Structure 1
Amino acid sequence: MTGQDPDATDGSQDPGAPEVTPTPARPAGAFAPPTAEPAATPVNEPGAAPEPLWPVPAAPYDAGEGHGPATVGPGSTAGAAYGPGPYALAAPASRPTSDWPRPRARRVSVGMTAGIAVLALVAGAVGGVAANRIAAEVGMYRPVDAALPESSAATQPAGAIATIAAEAIDSVVSLEVVGDDGVSTGSGVVIRADGYILTNNHVVADASGDDAVTVLMTDGSELPAQVVGRTSDYDLAVVKINATDLTPLVLGDSDEVVVGDPVVAVGAPLGLEGTVTTGIVSALHRPVAAGQTDTAFIDAIQTDAAINPGNSGGPLVNGAGEVVGINSAIAQPPGALQATGSIGLGFAIPSNQARRTAEELIETGSATYPVIGVLLDERYSGEGVQVVSDPLEDQEAVVPDGPADDAGIEPGDVILAIDGRPVTRTDELVVAIRAKAPGDEVTLQVRSGDEESDVVVVLDEAVSE
């Protein structure tokens, strides 16, 4: 199966955050203004002084520091500082002299006035009847107790999606990477309190320059990051920021994951930080070849949790709040040339693989992967996977003194299964071996001619570039 990096429209670049027009803030209780002022005669004709809201003679008024005293009353111009119009309202005699704003004169159409009057009459009639009935029953104006159930305000139970999200979201960051072709984005997960962050290699692979990677924290701060190490073979990378006392997420045991387990994906799809989606583990051991130039072979966890461009490098979290995978690729319909969005098939690197690789990258700056020392024939069709019969481009079919040679595997042999798991394609065998560690033993079911046998192979080590 071929996966696509969910971070770029061209295989490497993120399309960026969607354009969103923010809604202007309004004070609490405010109504939205009409899109156009009603074309009608205002109630108060310009030039006619309105009646004051309260009867009080004009009096000196202190407009506040820097304004000086002013006379406030009908016809005064002091009110112009707080709104247009030739009118000002008289201040109450009991109100202390302060810089209090005056309401603006409102323009209301005749038709609107009639409508308001009708509504007021209807509401008044209904309200009057209801109020009289309530007053007769309880002696005061308040709602009758209908004994409706009330909220218990209970907290979310352990294992609830909201609980998992709340615990994980502060440990997930967004990454902005400046490359030769522009800026791409991705996600990352804090794995150590002293600033180490795990992400995908394809998120940071195109970084150009020492300050090309920026980490956006959940509190809104932005910190420069340095790439500690990366490997294209596993599509993993570790970056570090200058920070302490971070909250890392635990890398759980991905070998304990079973199909049907609930999972939560956290990340920044399309640059939208702190996005949480949920689903289940829909399959295991999916052989995924991700990438276009540097192909990564992933023995992937498949999930239907929505993963979109920008989610790459973010965690796939289980019900205990532990990371069981690093979201890395999404499937697209046949014929699609670029990642367009989730269709319910996302793929994550198992956490056990991520842990081993991250430890190597932190300690040495590079990673290793296991090999058996054979060349596989891509042209072969049939049961199992065949070792090539003849050398290719000066490479031996079976590496001399390599693991397969030591186990007795010969050119032309067919490998039918690894550790009891049948294989029918070359990438299935490759990802199954890559899921192991150098020095591990695997049992291969091999057919040589007409004979089948189980052979034990001790995996050798190769250094990732």
Structure 2
Amino acid sequence: MTTPEDAQPVPVRADEDAERTPAGLFASPSGRRELPPTPSTPEAPPVDIAVTHPAPAPPAPARPAPAQPAVGASAPLSPQHPPGSHWSVPHGSVPTFAPPSPSVPANPYGPAAQQPPAPWAGVPYATTGTTAAADPGPSTGPSGVPHTVVLHRKRRRTLSAAWVVPLVVIALAAGAVGGVLGSRLTEDDRLADAGLPIAPVGAGPVEREPGSVAGIAAGVLPSVVSIQVDGPDGSATGSGFVLRGDGYLVTNNHVIAQADGAASTTITVTFGDGSEQEASIVGRTADYDLAVLKVDVEGLTPLLLGDSDSVVVGDPVVAVGAPLGLAGTVTTGIVSALNRPVSAGEATEEDDQAFINAIQTDAAINPGNSGGPLVNAAGEVIGINSAIAQPPGSLSMVGGSIGLGFAIPSNQVRRTADQLIETGRATYPIIGVLLDQRYTGEGVQVSTDVQDGRQPVTADGPAERAGIHPGDVILAIDGRPVTDPDELIVAIRARTPGDTIVLHVRSGSSERDVRVKLDESPTD
């Protein structure tokens, strides 16, 4: 006995319900199940599926026709729908194929009868747009001939692309956001489950290797100081570092130049821990652009002075100082060149301009770095930052870094600082000649004219004793060619008074090597 809920139209197509495997169906090569071919019967339109019911054994009298024709009564079968060649589809059962029977007459109910076929017991039938409940009455027409009920296929409702596409996009976006949030919320749990260590909040500082930049900086910064000079002509800032534990500091001369001779000028030194001390000048030299200061503090940690003669191009270096007043700044780079003839500071009426046989570096050096240390990978000072190159070729500390910085070699710092501490003055080596700045040929030429009352070759000086004469051309010093007067000057000043050098000299058309023992002269 079927109920009204079971009495629903059952649309059946092999391509839509391929999962069903009823008896009498065959599987197609594509995996679909199909009907056995019926050569004499054309394919029925897909919108209607006719259902044929066999006549029951004992014929029953026809039920009286209703007073009004029922909606959806079956029309006479067309040649495309021969009787008996249809599906028998009771709801809830597997459809079976009923072969055509030649003895079954055509549907006796037509438009002239104006009455629908009588329903039979246990089988639902459908009217147009509706579903009828099962009728317990007889299952045959008046003549006992089986009849046909047409089940109309119900249209499937679908969403248009205009609705489906936005819904899919929204679903994908929601899934992505949910995945990200979920991964973040469960990240710590996953790390814990995987056995990975998680740093606790507020963990202590991590130790660095001594040879790393962080390790070098940690060892150097406590010994680097910031220097501020306040005087009647304004203020100046720079850097310096502890040279000795009993309060001696070293910096550039041009950092404290305006403090010389001014009673109202003060020099304030700020240490790495923030403490401040007033400093005094022990000695200074414009020729080497170096100065030594003194503070009344004991037990300071000095920086070690390395051997600048062992430095090679490509060595890593770290520059430390207070560029633009920013104390404790660390920059890194390499040694990009050696023996650069550089003039540092500014020439004044009282002081000559300094000439430095400089170490060139690409570590960032800016105004305020002057006097700070340039250290190697061992944390040893190999130079004092003194100058930077500025386009169009001027050398000063006014502009910013362009990757060309220059430092006074540490071996020169050691000699000059010792002299300043011991005597308050420094000396530099000389050979006793004046050079012709107008000469443009190979090498550098000894002047032939008297300059400012000075002879081209100093009488009884080192050059005269070695046989050098006015107009001679010096081509090389210790095997290193020279092409500019400044190159020869800085190369000589990088030596120590009393050292012996070898000069390759050309006199007229002949060339020779001469040995010259350097004399000394007091610096300004």
State the TM-score, normalizing by the size of structure 1. Answer: 0.68
Q: Quick check: 1:319 aligned with 2:377? A: yes
Q: Who is 1:259 aligned against?
A: 313
Q: Quick check: 1:147 aligned with 2:191? A: no
Q: Who is 1:389 aligned against?
A: 448
* Kept after mapping to 1: 8 A contact 2:436/2:445: yes
Where does 1:270-309 land on structure 2 (aligned, <5 Å)? 270-293=324-347, 294-309=352-367
Structure 2: distance between partners of 1:451 and 1:332: 41
AA partner of residue 290 (structure 1): A
* RMSD (Å) for aligned C-alpha atoms: 2.5
Structure 1 residue 218: Cα displacement = 1.1
Match of 1:197 among 244, 249, 253: 249
1:102-155 superposed Cα distances (whole Å, 9 cap, x missing partner): xxxxxxxxxxxxxxxxxxxx9xx979x979x99xxxxxxx82434274379863
Q: Who is 1:399 aligned against?
A: 458
AA partner of residue 202 (structure 1): H
Q: Who is 2:407 aligned against?
A: 348
Structure 2: distance between partners of 1:277 and 1:335: 23
* Kept after mapping to 1: 8 A contact 2:231/2:265: no
Structure 2: distance between partners of 1:154 and 1:440: 49
* Kept after mapping to 2: 8 A contact 1:211/1:226: no
| Structure 2 residue matching 1:143: 3-state secondary structure | helix
AA partner of residue 272 (structure 1): L
Q: Who is 1:92 aligned against?
A: none
Structure 1: distance between partners of 2:484 and 2:380: 32
| Structure 2 residue matching 1:331: 3-state secondary structure | strand
Seen in structure 2, the aligned counterparts of structure 1 residues 390 and 217 have a Cα distance that, compared at 3 Å, is same
Structure 2: distance between partners of 1:235 and 1:250: 20
Structure 1 residue 247: Cα displacement = 0.4
Q: Who is 1:220 aligned against?
A: 274
Seen in structure 2, the aligned counterparts of structure 1 residues 151 and 389 have a Cα distance that, compared at 3 Å, is farther
Q: Who is 1:380 aligned against?
A: 439
Number of aligned positions between the proteins = 334
Q: Who is 1:328 aligned against?
A: 386
Structure 1 runs not aligned, ≥5 long: 1-121, 135-141
Q: Quick check: 1:429 aligned with 2:483? A: no
Structure 1: distance between partners of 2:198 and 2:220: 27
Seen in structure 2, the aligned counterparts of structure 1 residues 384 and 148 have a Cα distance that, compared at 3 Å, is farther
Q: Who is 1:233 aligned against?
A: 287
Structure 2 runs not aligned, ≥5 long: 1-173, 200-204
Structure 1: distance between partners of 2:291 and 2:374: 16
Higher Cα Rg: structure 1 or 2? 2
Structure 2: distance between partners of 1:413 and 1:150: 75
| Structure 1 residue matching 2:416: 3-state secondary structure | helix
Answer 1 or 2: higher relative contact order, Cα 8 Å, separation at least 6.
Answer: 1
Structure 1 residue 166: Cα displacement = 0.3
Seen in structure 2, the aligned counterparts of structure 1 residues 147 and 254 have a Cα distance that, compared at 3 Å, is same
Seen in structure 2, the aligned counterparts of structure 1 residues 244 and 421 have a Cα distance that, compared at 3 Å, is same
* Kept after mapping to 2: 8 A contact 1:229/1:238: yes
* Kept after mapping to 2: 8 A contact 1:230/1:365: yes
Structure 1: distance between partners of 2:407 and 2:513: 31
Q: Who is 1:171 aligned against?
A: 223
AA partner of residue 295 (structure 1): Q
Structure 1: distance between partners of 2:395 and 2:504: 37
Structure 2: distance between partners of 1:227 and 1:323: 22
Where does 1:1-40 land on structure 2 (aligned, <5 Å)? none
| Structure 2 residue matching 1:429: 3-state secondary structure | helix
> Percent same amino acid among aligned pairs?
65
Q: Who is 1:410 aligned against?
A: 469
Structure 1 residue 389: Cα displacement = 1.4
State the TM-score, normalizing by the size of structure 2. Answer: 0.61
Structure 1: distance between partners of 2:182 and 2:433: 88
| Structure 2 residue matching 1:356: 3-state secondary structure | helix
Q: Who is 2:212 aligned against?
A: 160
Match of 2:323 among 240, 257, 269: 269
Structure 1 residue 178: Cα displacement = 1.4
Structure 2: distance between partners of 1:311 and 1:218: 15
Structure 1: distance between partners of 2:365 and 2:459: 43
AA partner of residue 377 (structure 1): D
Seen in structure 2, the aligned counterparts of structure 1 residues 314 and 337 have a Cα distance that, compared at 3 Å, is closer
| Structure 2 residue matching 1:456: 3-state secondary structure | strand
Structure 1 residue 290: Cα displacement = 1.5
Q: Quick check: 1:419 aligned with 2:478? A: yes
Q: Who is 2:240 aligned against?
A: 188
Structure 1: distance between partners of 2:505 and 2:195: 71
Q: Who is 1:461 aligned against?
A: 520
Structure 1 residue 404: Cα displacement = 0.2
Q: Who is 1:25 aligned against?
A: none
AA partner of residue 242 (structure 1): D
* Kept after mapping to 2: 8 A contact 1:210/1:226: no
Structure 2: distance between partners of 1:210 and 1:240: 18
Q: Who is 1:245 aligned against?
A: 299
Structure 1 residue 209: Cα displacement = 2.4
| Structure 2 residue matching 1:163: 3-state secondary structure | helix
Where does 1:42-191 land on structure 2 (aligned, <5 Å)? 143-144=189-190, 145-147=192-194, 149-150=196-197, 155-191=207-243
Q: Who is 1:452 aligned against?
A: 511
Seen in structure 2, the aligned counterparts of structure 1 residues 206 and 154 have a Cα distance that, compared at 3 Å, is closer
Moved more, 336-345 or 232-241: 336-345
Structure 1: distance between partners of 2:382 and 2:366: 18
Structure 2: distance between partners of 1:337 and 1:368: 24
Structure 1: distance between partners of 2:461 and 2:335: 37
Structure 2: distance between partners of 1:364 and 1:149: 64
Structure 2: distance between partners of 1:335 and 1:200: 21
